[in-house]
Each structure stands twice: as structure tokens, then as C-alpha cells.
Amino acid sequence: MIRPRQGLLIVPPRFIDGTVNDSRERRYMLVVDCFESDDGTKIISLVNLTKYEGKAGRIFRSDYVLITRHNPPFPKISFAKTEGIYNLEYFTDLDKLLLADGQLLHEIDFNDVIEELESPKIVSFSEQEIRKVNRSLI
């Protein structure tokens, strides 16, 4: 079962700004929450990560949080993009997309990300939408 502080490598069908992910580019994402909706559906909430390399100036943006204690689960220093949350309907095959055998991000970095999630935009995806763009889950 997926839980907060874990990382996933996943293809989101579209991004927070509504842009369709036509290139089907996989993204590193951090699990920030797991909960059950009113109808009993299990949901995992993710934030998108972007590489630090070549983007150091973004450290001054309030919606970017630097993750320095990244490994595990992420391979490189990254920024968490806290302007939006991706809510996914949980299904067991998502466990196949876990990074670093499900190891957890350092608690200090995780808490820094959570503190910056004030009023994010939210985009939601069903199991069917996720399976359609993530070939490894078919």
C-alpha cells in the first residue's frame, strides 16, 4: 500500500495547468496524503517534482520547495512544485511505480513540502485515466 513520503515515477494524463501530457513524459512525484473519499474510494495525493539542475533560481519562488535529502526515494536534488496536487484513485498496480522499493523521503524535507501546501489547485484522475497513459500498468 502506498503511503505519504514515498515517491512514484508516473505519467500524469495532464498537468495542473490543464495541459495534456501528449509526450507521456514520466514524472517524479511525492505522495503527500492518502485518504478515503466520502464514497469509500481510496485516494492518493501527489505533488510534482522538477529537477534542481539548471533551475536554481526557482528557490526564490514560494511555490517551489527544495528537497535536498532526496535519496531515498529520488535520485537527484529536486524542487517540489506545491502549486498543485494530483489526486489519483488508488489501485494496487500503482505499487509497481514506487521508487526505491517504497523507501520514504526524509521527514524534514517532507514537512517542508507540506507546510507550503496552502491552497493548491487540484486535478483528479480515475484508475482508467492513469492506466491509459501508463503502459507498464496495462
How far apart CA 61 and CA 90 sit, in angstroms, is 31
Scored b (16 or more CB within 10 A) or e, 29-67 reads bbbbeeeeeeeeeeebbbbbbeebeeeeeeeeeeebbbb
Determine the pLDDT at residue 136: 80
Least confident piece of the model among 18-22, 31-35, 60-64: 60-64
Residue-level pLDDT at 23: 81
pTM, 2 dp: 0.91
93-127 residue pLDDT tens: 999 999 999 999 999 999 999 999 988 999 999 99
